[in-house]
Amino acid sequence: MLRRRLAFLGEPSSYFYDGDTPLRVADVDDPFRKGVLLIARATSRTEPEWLPSPLDDLTAAAAADHGPQAAQAVHD
């Protein structure tokens, strides 16, 4: 699940759209929507920096407990 989350974070997205066009913070006047977009921006910058560490830890633990095949399953 963490690998899917990391892949998802690499895709462009937004919470709010104008038709098919994602809205950016600069495009929104509502302060609450701005807040949601600012929080999402901070998360999308920070989470990808953090995720590789627990993924590496889980991979190492799986390999130690169950061998290389289990470690590969963590990557899939």
The pLDDT score that the predictor gives to residue 11 is: 83
pTM > 0.85: no
Q: What is the pLDDT of residues 7-66, one digit of tens each?
A: 888 888 889 999 999 999 999 999 999 999 999 999 989 999 999 999 999 888 888 887
Q: What is the residue range of 61's domain?
A: 2-75
The pLDDT score that the predictor gives to residue 73 is: 63
The pLDDT score that the predictor gives to residue 12 is: 80
Euclidean distance between CA atoms 1 and 17, whole angstroms: 27
Count CB-CB contacts under 10 A for residue 37: 21
Q: How many domains does the chain have?
A: 1
The pLDDT score that the predictor gives to residue 69 is: 67
Q: What is the pLDDT of residues 62-73, one digit of tens each?
A: 888 877 765 566
Euclidean distance between CA atoms 49 and 20, whole angstroms: 29
